[in-house]
Structure 1
Amino acid sequence: MAVISSKQVQLRLAANRPAPRVPVAGIVARPVVRAAGPAAAAPSRAARPARQATVAAVASAAPAQALARTEQGLQVPHGPNAKLVNLMAPATEHAALKAACNKRLELSDRNACDVELLCVGAFSPLTGFLCKDEYESVVQNMRLRDGTLLGLPIVLDTNENIIPGDKVLLTYQGEDLAVMDVTSRYTPNKPVECLKCYGTSSLEHPAVQMVAMERGKFYVGGPIKGLALPKRVFPCASPADVRSTLPANSDVLAFQCRNPIHKAHYELFIRALDAPNVRNPGAVCLVHPTCGPTQDDDIPGIVRFHTYEVLKEETKNPRLRWAYLPYSMHMAGPREAIQHMIIRKNYGCTHFIIGRDMAGCKSTVSGQDFYGAYDAQEMANKHAAELNMQTVPSLNIAYTEERGYVTADVAKAENLKVLNLSGTKFRQMLRGGEDIPEWFAFKSVVNVLREQIMSEA
């Protein structure tokens, strides 16, 4: 295991310390925006040493720091103006907006998620899909042209004859969602986009497959105005809705996941509330799973939603807030970690819980990891101060016969007997109707998953 000295910790903390803050009308102690600069692309897979000690030491040593807040005592939204975008047009304007359209475009599931997140302000400060110049800037530098950090480009793809000057009615499953004023049409360099954003242009990466095989030949950019949100089988609260439930002048942690939550996961975000850089009392955790399209072998969004709902009812923990995010996963590792932090910042979060191999994925051919286990953590730590956020590394939790859940280092130091249950074995036990150990999973969650298996059979 790598060793980091106390002097190295101090140097790294100094490098990640927030920039000086200046007062701005309506905002308390807003940080000075850093100048635009090149952002590291997703690292290659070659020769990545284990960096758990370095990452964990830096994060755990960081003290709780004052973050910029709005006059209401909440996290400031992302962007130079620190304003939460709302692109939904008043109902009185809908008829005129639709009448002005000369083209219509049916959205994919992924595009519909992006339209919804644009309209409600989750992608603030964006007001539409990226034009060519902005797209190329984000691909190359992980920043908009004005220097604003953005993890991944938000684009609308098409094979249709849509050109600048067109007003396009964006539809999804028979519903009119938005109107777009097209200002840009371009042919993206998809290999470069994939190499910069995902660290590879190989079709073995699921997002590269998506870009190459699902997306259309052209991208179109321009501002949009929302007409309606997609009708979903699970409710997706907007950033404004979530912010209205958050306590003022308190730390708000974000827990991102895309799978059912078992007891080890629960222990992770509950313990994160007591991290050294989280101010207590009053801190809460927003459990904010993505319920949009993910990988093909993931559990369907509606099933995941039901597991979260029964768990929320079973635990009834007042320190938790629950909401669902209609976000389409890219499995982009380090860059996606930044994207998730920006989104959760707009939902009001001040801290982001980041685990080992965050948003990582494996080759569909060799099974090799595309990213190092701590690449995402390092990227998040590098940009946390600029985002007016702090990171909380998720602990390595183990269940022991003697003491229940403890951190892995405690289990090793005290020579405790650790119990393990792999995901494959868990699924086999579910299908076989075997009893699932209560230390591993919540009964309510197991019941939902069993119902899914029975329905599939």
Structure 2
Amino acid sequence: MVKQVPHGGTLVDQMVKSDEEKEAAIAKATVELQATERQLCDMELIMNGGFSPLTGFMEEADYQSVVDNVALPDGTIMGLPVVFDTDDEDLQPGTTILLKQGDLPIATVELTDKYTPNKPYECLKCYGTSEIEHPGALMVATERGKYYMGGKVTGLNFPVREFPCKTPAEVRASLPDDKDVVAFQCRNPVHRAHYELFTRALDDPLVGEGGIVLVHPTCGPTQADDIPGTVRYKTYEVLKEETANPRVEWQYLPYSMHMAGPREAIQHMIIRKNFGCTHFIIGRDMAGSKSSVTGEDYYGAYEAQDFAKELSEKLGVTPVPSLNLVYTEQEGYTTADYAEEKGLTSLKLSGTKFRKMLRGGEDIPEWFAFKSVVSVLRENA
């Protein structure tokens, strides 16, 4: 057994165990629906226990409690609501629906209630703003249906993806049982600074001797201008091969980003706790976003770190602050404070400039990006 206990004490497993059970579950359903990409991610994490202790989509009381108090009614911390949304006026509690991905049956949901959320209020509490210039608020306002419905999920098949997503139980089985496991969340290709950041996190005094890093990128829907998940997956695979670091484990997470800053940092910590992690790296402006109109940041650089520290004891996950690293001509990667103190020359390359160089076929400096990653990004441009 790994060191970390699942959130709520028990790792949820909502998957049927036999073909007979699968057929019986499908037979109960009277309505068939195609699941959206975001619903597929949410269902998978309910089914495999990534959202433990949830066993289904949130009913109104659970939803309201999470929106208001960052916790379920029993006090169990939960960062963001997990809801089934619909515009269907005829869909009623008491109905069992079958959700599919194309022809593949994924899960049934036994609907138990239906409610009309106050979406501006939900966004204000969860994202800190109800402006649709925020990508999360825009998603709630324009992608999600008018109604939310709660109900128990029964898992039939995991969604088919171009990247393998192991269950929390499978990942836990691959982790050491006596070492700290530090999770690193990302939704972009891993460049040199990221790699330095998560490998150096193992030297943090908060992390026990011999700890390992679980690099656990999200591969579901994210911001509109982010690199597609399938391309990101390819960059991670080549980097795993290139670095071959025995203290770094790579796994993939079917999660859709909300860009909810502090609230999302908590959600990420809960998920990684269920995957067996004891520690979680909180970056500057973690899961942050900018206004699509003004370009202003919605969250302060350390808001997510502060919120994570505040809730870490209740959560049972230790936040590890990420180092603010810069590349210097004289000493390679150092902390920004050290570089300033020693008067070192820092080199910088913005994401915009990097993408321009990538498109133009220019040489990308190796201090900024790994050659293998650059090759994949060029092939899939």
Question: Do they fold alike, i.e. is TM over 0.5?
Answer: yes
Residue pair 1:73, 1:248 contacting (<8 A) in 2 also: yes
Whether 2:208 is the aligned partner of 1:279: answer yes
Q: Secondary structure at the match of 1:406?
A: strand
Q: Distance in 2 between matches of 1:185 and 1:341?
A: 29
Q: Secondary structure at the match of 1:416?
A: coil
Residue pair 1:184, 1:220 contacting (<8 A) in 2 also: yes
Q: Cα offset for 1:327?
A: 0.2
Q: Distance in 1 between matches of 2:372 and 2:137?
A: 36
Q: Deviations over 1:64-113 (max 9, x none)?
A: xxxxxxxx24200001xx11000001222111111111112211100110
Whether 2:180 is the aligned partner of 1:254: answer no
Whether 2:251 is the aligned partner of 1:323: answer yes
Q: Which has the larger radius of gyration?
A: 1
Q: Distance in 1 between matches of 2:93 and 2:165?
A: 32
Q: Secondary structure at the match of 1:76?
A: coil
Aligned residue pairs total: 379
Q: Distance in 1 between matches of 2:103 and 2:271?
A: 28
Whether 2:303 is the aligned partner of 1:363: answer no
Q: Secondary structure at the match of 2:203?
A: coil
Regions of 4+ moved over 6 Å:
none
Counterpart residue type for residue 243 of structure 2: T
Counterpart residue type for residue 44 of structure 2: E
Q: Deviations over 1:287-311 (max 9, x none)?
A: 0000000000000000000000000
Tell me which residue corresponds to 2:222.
294
Tell me which residue corresponds to 1:225.
154
Tell me which residue corresponds to 1:53.
none
Counterpart residue type for residue 86 of structure 1: D
Q: Secondary structure at the match of 2:66?
A: helix
Q: Secondary structure at the match of 1:183?
A: strand
Tell me which residue corresponds to 1:345.
273
Whether 2:55 is the aligned partner of 1:127: answer yes
Q: Which runs of 5+ in 1 are unaligned?
A: 1-71
Residue pair 2:278, 2:318 contacting (<8 A) in 1 also: yes
TM-score by length of 2: 0.98
TM-score by length of 1: 0.82
Q: Which runs of 5+ in 2 are unaligned?
A: none
Tell me which residue corresponds to 2:240.
312
Q: Distance in 1 between matches of 2:180 and 2:34?
A: 40
Tell me which residue corresponds to 2:328.
400
Counterpart residue type for residue 74 of structure 1: K
Q: Structure 2 residue aligned with 1:236, among 144, 156, 165?
A: 165
Q: Distance in 2 between matches of 1:318 and 1:370?
A: 37
Tell me which residue corresponds to 1:87.
14
Tell me which residue corresponds to 1:3.
none
Q: Distance in 1 between matches of 2:137 and 2:367?
A: 38
Residue pair 1:162, 1:220 contacting (<8 A) in 2 also: no
Tell me which residue corresponds to 1:215.
144
Greater Cα shift, 225-234 or 156-165: 156-165
Counterpart residue type for residue 268 of structure 1: L
Tell me which residue corresponds to 1:45.
none
Whether 2:134 is the aligned partner of 1:205: answer yes
Q: Cα offset for 1:174?
A: 2.2
RMSD: 0.8
Q: Cα offset for 1:389?
A: 1.3
Q: Structure 1 residue aligned with 2:314, among 364, 386, 391?
A: 386
Q: Structure 1 residue aligned with 2:368, among 440, 452, 455?
A: 440
Q: Distance in 1 between matches of 2:21 and 2:241?
A: 40
Residue pair 2:46, 2:52 contacting (<8 A) in 1 also: yes
Q: Structure 1 residue aligned with 2:36, among 87, 96, 108?
A: 108
Residue pair 2:184, 2:281 contacting (<8 A) in 1 also: yes
Whether 2:124 is the aligned partner of 1:195: answer yes
Counterpart residue type for residue 330 of structure 1: H
